[in-house]
Structure 1
Amino acid sequence: MKYQVLPEPFACRLPNIQLWQDSFGDDFGVADRVLCIFCDAFMFDEEERFKFEPDDTVMAIYRAVYPSRWTPDSLEYPFIIDALEKEFDFRFNPIKLEKIASFRQIVAEIKDAQHGRRH
């Protein structure tokens, strides 16, 4: 499979799995799965997923891949939303993903939805 190269500034980072483990603790598995879904959507090599940081936003990465507003995209947003909803069995607000969602916020949304189902 041919992967898309990570855009700058993400490509020059060293992978930091420890940052992710420290940031998410018991929720590391959820965070890792979110990263994998995200990498699948953009066709990034999952081996590079830990070059992203928990507070990186989906929009910042999207803009790094598609710097021009007029560049057609590959419909990553619908793919991400659909995959998150199927994987974690919840409804995700697409506007939130586009506007403010960092990986940390996405994991928090998932955990909140899971917590709400248990009560």
Structure 2
Amino acid sequence: MSTSAIFLCASGFFPLLLIATVLLRSDHLLGGLPKPYNARACQGKNWRGAFPYLSKQDIREFLSIFVEGFAFSHKERLKLNPEDQILQIYRALYPCRGCADALEVETLAKYIKERYGFSLGDVWHEKITLGELFQITQGVHSL
């Protein structure tokens, strides 16, 4: 096969790959949570149970920052649970390791720094949960 034939095959394959990626990610592009998070009922009770001493407003504000960083709909923020691992949510969006992403974690880090005044990188570990990060934001913010 000639070089030009390989190029034509590859150039024809790229648009198909791009379309497939968009279709696979269409829920997210429309602001929806990935599976299995999108099928959940409201998790507000779990947040209040984990953090009874903090206001609903504090919880909603934190979740709003998270969903904004990940470009999810604000309407779905209470489908997230305090036990959800941030990296697992990210991997539900991007199951293919090494694939290009939309810089969700970096955007979240920027918003955390702006709102709570600390670097996400300083507290990050692979299993950090939303609840753990929320607790840290409230401790740092209340200082």
Q: TM-score range by the shorter chain?
A: 0.7 to 0.9
Does 2:61 align with 1:33?
A: yes
Instruction: Give the structure 1 partner of residue 34 of structure 2.
Output: 7
Q: Go from structure 1 to structure 2 and tell me whether the alpha carbon gap of 1:36 and 1:57 turns closer, same or farther (over 3 Å shift).
A: same
Deviation at 1:92, TM superposition (A): 2.5
Q: Which runs of 5+ in 1 are unaligned?
A: none
Instruction: Give the structure 2 partner of residue 23 of structure 1.
Output: 50
**TM-score normalised by structure 2 residue count:** 0.70
Does 2:91 align with 1:68?
A: no
Does 2:75 align with 1:58?
A: no
Q: Go from structure 1 to structure 2 and tell me whether the alpha carbon gap of 1:67 and 1:98 turns closer, same or farther (over 3 Å shift).
A: farther
Deviation at 1:4, TM superposition (A): 2.7
Q: Secondary structure in 1 aligned to 2:58?
A: helix
Instruction: Give the structure 1 partner of residue 134 of structure 2.
Output: 107
Residue 82 of structure 2 contacts residue 129 of structure 2 at CA under 8 Å; is this kept in 1? yes
**TM-score normalised by structure 1 residue count:** 0.82
Instruction: Give the structure 1 partner of residue 121 of structure 2.
Output: 94
Residue 14 of structure 1 contacts residue 51 of structure 1 at CA under 8 Å; is this kept in 2? yes
- Post-superposition Cα deviations, 1:24-82, rounded to whole Å, max 9, x if no partner, equal 22324332222111111222111111111001011000000000012211111121111
Q: Which runs of 5+ in 2 are unaligned?
A: 1-28
How far apart in 1 are the matches of 2:41 and 2:88? 18
How many residues are matched? 114
